[in-house]
Amino acid sequence: PTVVQRLDYTAPAFWIETVELAFDLDPAKTRVLNKMQVRRNPEVPAQPLRLDGEDLNLARVLVNGSGTSFKLDGGQLVLENLPEGPEPFALEIFTTCAPLKNTQLSGLYVSQETFFTQCEAQGFRRITYFLDRPDVMASYSVLLRADKAHYPVLLSNGNLVESGDLDDGRHFARWHDPHKKPSYLFALVAGKLVAREQKITSRTGKEHLLQVWVRPGDLEKTEHAMRSLMHAIAWDEARFGLPLDLERFMIVATSDFNMGAMENKGLNIFNTKYVLANQATATDADFANIESVVGHEYFHNWTGNRITCRDWFQLSLKEGLTVFRDQEFSMDMAGSASARAVKRIEDVRVLRTVQFAEDAGPMAHPVRPDSYVEINNFYTVTIYEKGAEVVRMQHNLVGKDGFAQGMKLYFERFDGQAVTCDDFVQAMADANPASPLAQHLDAFKRWYSQAGTPTVHASGVFDAQAQTYTLTLRQSCPATPGQSASAKQPFVIPVTLGLLDGQGKALPLQLQGLNVGTEHTLVLHQEEQAWTFTGITSQPTPSLLRSLSAPVLLDYPFTEAELLTLLAHDSDAFNRWEAAQRLSLRIATNAIAATAETATEKEQNPANLLPQSVVDALRLVLEHPQLDAAFKELVLTLPSESYIAEQLDSVDPQRIHSVREAMRRQLALALQPQWQAAYEAHAHTGAYQPEPIAAGRRALAGLALNMLCLAAQGDGVWAGKAYQRVKDAGNMTDKANALQALVQSASPLASNALDYFYRQLRHEPLVLDKWFALQAAAPDVQGSVLPAVKALLKHPDFVLKNPNRARSLVFTYCNANPGGFHRLDAAGYIFWADHVLALDAINPQMAARLARALDRWQKLAPPYREAAREAIARVAAKADLSNDVREVVARALG
Ligand code: B3K
Ligand code: ZN
C-alpha cells in the first residue's frame, strides 16, 4: 500500500470549475453522466490529467464532445491528449456503479430502499471519476432521475431549480448549489421520506427553509433535532457573526451510517441515532448528543465548508475547530456555571480515557499527521478532541473577544479557500499581536506537529519567612512512533491555577508585585520555569490546570489532605471533581500494584480499600445541599477501568476490574442511607424535559439505584423496585438506568427485565441497540458474557452489516467490557479477530475501528499480552486485508 506524505503536497495540475451530474438512479446499476469544465493550472508544469476512481464501470470519455484516448492506471483514469493552453475544455465521463452492492457505505449506497451518499474523505471517486481532493472546489448542478413510486423524494446540495415527471413512471429533480465546494461535500438522497419543516428569518431579514427528512413514522421524533438546528443557527450568528448562507438547509437521517453525521453543503446526512428522539426512546445523553452533533455539522458550514482543508493532513483545521465550537455551543446552551463544568468534565473524560490512550499507543500521531496509508483511519480522537483542545488553548491565550477577532480575520483572509492549520493559527496570532499566543507562536505550533501527551511536573516551595510560594513547572513528553522524546521541543502550556489556604479559601495572587486576582494562567513555554507568588502567609494548596487548561498530564505529589481540601472547597468545579478522581485513582493503583508481601492491611481486605476520610468526603458531596445532582453523579463515579489501566505500566484487566468493583461495592455499602435519600429525592423529575438540571437529577437517581441494587445483593427489595421502574418509567433515561442497575448488579431479575424491555420496544431500532449494548457490557459472572454475546449474534434482530447494531454488540463487548473481554482462555481475542475479519469483508472502515480495540496490547500483563499479539498477528496474516485494517494491525505489531 502507498504511504501518503504531507510534505509531498503539490497543487493540482488542473482545476475543475463546474460539474454537471446526471444520475439515473437504480439500485443494481446507477448511471452517472459527469460533464465538467476543466482547465490547466498554469502554475504547475504540464502533465496528464489523472482522475481518481474506485469500483466504477467506465463507458465513455469525451473531450470537447469527441472521443479521446485514455488509460486506466491503478484505478485512476489518465488522459494525456488534452487541449493545450489556458482555456477551459469540456470533459464528459459516463460511468455506472452498483449502489446495492456497496456495503462499505462510502460513495452511493442503498439503505432501506433509499439512496444515500457518503463522500468524505474519498467516496466521491466511487460515484464518478474526479480530482477527488479537497483543494479542487467546483460549482455543482445535479439532475436526479428515478422511479417516482419508489423514490418520490429527490434531494441534492443547494437549491431545487426544477422538478417534474418523465415517462414510465419516472420523475426528475434538478438542484444547483450556489457555493463552490470540494467533492467530499457532495450529497444526494432519494427515497420515501417525509420532512419536518420550519421557516426562519435571520437577523438580516433573509428567509430560510429548514427541513429534517426521515422515514414516514419517525416524524414525531424530529422535534428536538429541529430545535437544536434553530439554536445552532442563532448561536453561530450571535457568538461569531456567522449567518446561514443558504436558502434551504436539510438534514436527512439514515440507519446505515459509518459515523455520526456528515456536513454535506446544505444537505447534512445523519445517523438516525443523532436525529431521532422522544422521551420514550431516547435518553438524556441521546438528547444532548443530538444537540451537539446537529450543532457540529451546522457549524461546519463555515468551519469546513466555506473554508476547507487544503489536504487531508489538515483535517483538524475543520474538525478540531468545529468540535471546539460544538463544545462551546453545548456549554452556552447548558446555561449555569455548574452545567458548563459538568459538560467540561464529560469532554475531558473522553479526552483522557480515549485520546491520551491513543497518544500513548501505536496509532499515536500529531494533530496534523505527517503520513497515512488510509485517511479514514485518521478520523481520530487526536484530530477531533485533541485538536479541539489545541483550539481551546488558543481561545484561552487570546481571550474570548480576541478569539472572535481571530475568527473574523480568518474568514476575511480565507473565505472560499482550501487552507492549512498554520493559516488558522497565524490569523489568530495576527488578530492578537500582544497575546502570549503571538509571542510564542512558533513554539505553540508544536501542538500540531509533535504527538504524545506532555506531562507537567509541578513542585511548590513555601517560604514562611519570605512569605512566598514558588511554583516550579517542568515539562516532558514521551517518544511516539517516528518521534523520539529527545527530539521533542517544549510545548506552550497554559496552566490556569489558584491557591487555597488551610481553610480552603482562595488566596489573592501576587506575581512580581502585581495583583492578578485569585485565578491566573501561567504560560509554560520552556522546559522548566518557576514563578514566585508573594504575600503568602501559610502553606497553600495549589489548584493546578483548572478546567484542564491544557491537554497534559499533571504530576504533582498531592497529599491526601490537599486533595480533600480541593474536593471540599475549590472554586473550580472541575478541580473538585479531579480531586475526587485522584483520591480514588491512587487507592486503586496502589491496590492493583500491591503483591501479597507489600499489601497493606486494607489491600489485603479489599472490602475496605477506601479510607474513612475519603468515604466521608464523598458522603459530604452526596449530601451537599447546594451542589447540582449532575455534578454529584460525576464525583461519585469512580474512574473507569480503562482510565485506571492507562496509569499502569503493566495491565492486568481482571485485577483492575476486581479492585474497582471492590471499591464500588464499598461505596455502595458505606453510603447506603445516602444513596437511598438521593434516590428518593431525585427519582421523580416530573414531566420529562431534556434539560441539564432535570437530566442531572435523573443521572444521580440512576447511579443511586445502581448502588442500591449492588449493596442489596441477595435482598431483593431494590432489585424489585428497579424491575418495577423498567416497567413503569415514563422516559427512556429512567427505564434504561433501572435496567442497567439490574444487569450490572447481576440481579436474578435482570433477565426478566431484559425480556420485558425487548417485548415492549422491539420495534424501535435505536432502543434495540441499547438492549444489545447493555448485555454486551454485563458483568462477567463465571465467564458468561462471551457466550451471551455469541448467542445474541444469532438473534433475529442482529445484523452485522448495520453499523449501529455491530457497534452495540460487538464493539461494546470488545471496547467497553474489559472484565468480560480479557479472558484467560483468550476467547475474547479470538472473537475480536473473527469479527475484524468478518467486518473487513463487508465494511473496511468499520473493521478498522474494531481493529483498534487491541491497540494497547503491549501494555497487557502475561498471559494476555502474548494471546493478544497472536490474535493481531492472525488478522495481519490474512492475505486480502483492506488497507484500512492492514494499516492498523501493522502499526499495532510495530
Ligand atoms: N466530517 C465527517 C466525518 C467523515 C468521516 C469519514 N470517514 C463528520 C464530522 O466530523 O462532522
Ligand atoms: Zn466534524
The answer to the question of residue 730 being in a domain is no
CB of 621 closer than 6 A to ligand 1? Answer: no
Last residue in a domain, options 192, 221, 251: 192
Which CATH number belongs to the domain containing residue 390 in this structure? 1.10.390.10
Q: Ligand 1 pocket, 665 CB below 6 A?
A: no
Q: Which of 556, 577, 592 is the last residue of a domain?
A: 556
Q: Which CATH number does the domain housing residue 471 bear? A: 2.60.40.1840
Q: Which of 297, 578, 646, 887 is catalytic?
A: 297
Q: What is the DSSP letter of 779?
A: -
Same domain, 35 and 165: yes
- Under the banding of pLDDT at 50, 70 and 90, the label for residue 203 is confident
Nearest CA to ligand 1 atom 2: 262
Quick one: cell of 340?
458548563
Whether residue 124 is found in the same domain as residue 188: yes
Give yes or no: 319 in active site: no
Q: Are residues 96 and 154 in the same domain?
A: yes
Which ligand is in closest contact with the Cα of 271?
Answer: 1
pLDDT at 831: 99
Among residues of the chain, what percentage have pLDDT more than 70?
A: 100
* 133 and 161 co-located in one domain: yes
Residue 835: pLDDT over 80: yes
Asked if residue 550 and residue 422 are part of one domain, the reply reads no
User: What's the pLDDT score for residue 598?
Assistant: 81
**What pLDDT sits at residue 531?**
98
State how far the Cα of 885 lies from the Cα of 789, in Å rounded to an integer. Answer: 23
**What pLDDT is stored for residue 876 in this prediction?**
98
pLDDT of residue 204: 83
- Whether ligand 1 lies within 6 angstroms of the CB of 410 is answered as no
- Checking if the pLDDT of 729 tops 90, the result is yes
Ligand 1 binding pocket mutation candidate from 118, 251, 262, 293 (most atoms within 8 A of CB): 262
- Does the Cβ of 309 fall within 6 Å of ligand 1? no
Q: In what order do the strands lie in the sheet with 520-524?
A: 520-524, 493-500, 541-543
Ligand 1 near 848 CB (within 6 A): no
Alpha carbon 523 to its chain centroid, in Å, reads 28
Q: What is the pLDDT of residue 603?
A: 77
Domain shared by 471 and 524, yes or no = yes
In the reported structure, the alpha carbon of residue 305 is separated from the centroid of ligand 1 by a whole-number distance in angstroms of 12
CB of 184 sitting under 6 A from ligand 1: no
For cell 468480560, the residue is 820
Q: Where are any strands of DSSP class E within 1-104?
A: 4-5, 14-24, 30-40, 49-51, 57-63, 66-67, 71-73, 76-79, 89-97
Residue nearest to atom 5 of ligand 1 (CA): 120
- Report yes or no on whether pTM surpasses 0.80: yes
pLDDT of amino acid 599: 80
Q: What is the pLDDT of residues 342-364, one digit of tens each?
A: 999 999 999 999 999 999 999 99
Report whether 800 contacts 839 (CB < 8 A). Answer: yes
CA distance 16 to 128: 14
SS3 434: coil
Residue 297 alpha carbon, nearest atom of ligand 1: 11
42 with 157, same domain: the answer is yes
Residue by residue, DSSP assigns 7-30 as: GG----SEEEEEEEEEEE--SS-E
The pLDDT assigned to 558 comes to 98
Alpha-carbon distance 662 to 50, whole Å? 62
Q: Alpha helix (H) ranges present in 15-73? A: none
The DSSP call for residue 123 is T
Q: Please tell me the predicted confidence (pLDDT) of residue 715.
A: 83
In a domain, 812, yes or no: yes
Mean pLDDT of 266-281: 99
DSSP secondary structure code for residue 153 in this structure: E
Give 399's pLDDT tier (boundaries 50, 70, 90): very high
Question: Tens digits of per-residue pLDDT, 869-885?
Answer: 999 999 999 999 999 99
What CATH code is carried by the domain that includes residue 838? 1.25.50.10
Write the CB contacts of 76 (distance below 8 Å, at least 6 apart in sequence): 50, 51, 52, 53
Which atom number of ligand 1 is nearest to the Cα of residue 296?
11
Residue 240 located in a structural domain:
no
The pLDDT value given to residue 42: 96
Ion ligand 2, residue ranges at CB < 5 A:
319, 322
Q: Which of 309-313, 590-594, 668-672, 846-850 has the weakest average pLDDT?
A: 590-594
Convert the pLDDT of each residue in 760-790 to its tens digit: 999 999 999 999 999 999 999 999 999 999 9
- Over residues 544-563, the pLDDT tens digits come to 999 999 999 999 999 999 99
Contacts for 66 with CB less than 8 Å, ≥ 6 apart: none
> 846 and 863: one domain?
yes
Cell digits for 274? 443523532
> Between vectors from CA 748 to CA 743 and to CA 752, what angle results, nearest 5°?
75
Residues 368 and 507 in one domain: no
Are 465 and 332 members of one domain?
A: no
pLDDT tens per residue across span 661-698: 999 999 999 999 999 999 999 999 899 999 999 999 99
**What does the pLDDT read at residue 860?**
98
Domain count within the chain: 4
Q: Is 379 near ligand 1, meaning CB less than 6 Å away? A: yes
Q: Examine the pLDDT at 743 and tell me if it is beyond 80.
A: yes
- For residue 315, report the distance from its CA to the centre of ligand 1, in Å: 10
Banded model confidence at residue 597, pLDDT cuts 50, 70, 90: confident
Residue-number span of the structural domain to which 335 is assigned: 309-449
* Domain boundary, last residue among 449, 466, 490: 449
Q: Is residue 488 part of a domain?
A: yes
The predicted structure's pLDDT at residue 212: 99
Low-confidence winner among 82-86, 196-200, 496-500, 814-818 (lowest mean pLDDT): 82-86
Task: Verify that 471 and 437 share a domain, yes or no.
Answer: no
Q: How wide is the angle at C-alpha 74 spanned by C-alphas 72 and 79, nearest 5°?
A: 35
What's the average model confidence in pLDDT over 421-439?
98
325 pLDDT above the threshold of 80: yes
Q: What is the 3-state secondary structure (H, E, C) of 162-228?
A: EEEECCCCEEEEEEECCCCEEHHHCCEEEECCEEEEEEEECCCCCEEEEEEEECCCCHHHCHHHHHH
In a domain, residue 66? The reply is yes
Q: What is the mean pLDDT of the chain?
A: 97
CB 631 within 8 A of CB 573: yes
Q: What percent of the chain has pLDDT over 90?
A: 97
How sure is the predictor about 178, in pLDDT bands with cuts at 50, 70 and 90? very high
- What pLDDT, on a 0 to 100 scale, did the predictor assign at position 713? 77
Nearest to 500 by CA among 530, 542, 559: 542
Q: Is 581 domain-assigned?
A: no
pLDDT of 714 higher than 80? no
Rounded Cα distance between 548 and 530, Å, is 20
Is 344 a member of any domain? yes
CA 812 to chain centre: 16
Given a contact cutoff of 8 angstroms between Cβ atoms, the answer to whether 343 and 250 are in contact is no
What average pLDDT does range 884-893 have in this prediction?
A: 98
Is residue 820 domain-resident?
Answer: yes
The rounded Å distance from CA 262 to ligand 1 centre is: 5
- Report residue 201: phi and psi, to 5°: -115, 125
Q: Decide: 389 in ligand 1 pocket, CB within 6 A.
A: no
Residues 483 and 406 in one domain: no
In this predicted structure, what is the pLDDT of residue 605?
A: 74
The predicted pLDDT at position 595 comes to 75
**Which one of the ligands is nearest to 322 CA?**
2
Predicted confidence (pLDDT) per residue in 4-32, tens digit: 999 999 999 999 999 999 999 999 999 99
- Reading the block at residue 255, the C-alpha cell is 440507519
CATH number at residue 173: 2.60.40.1730
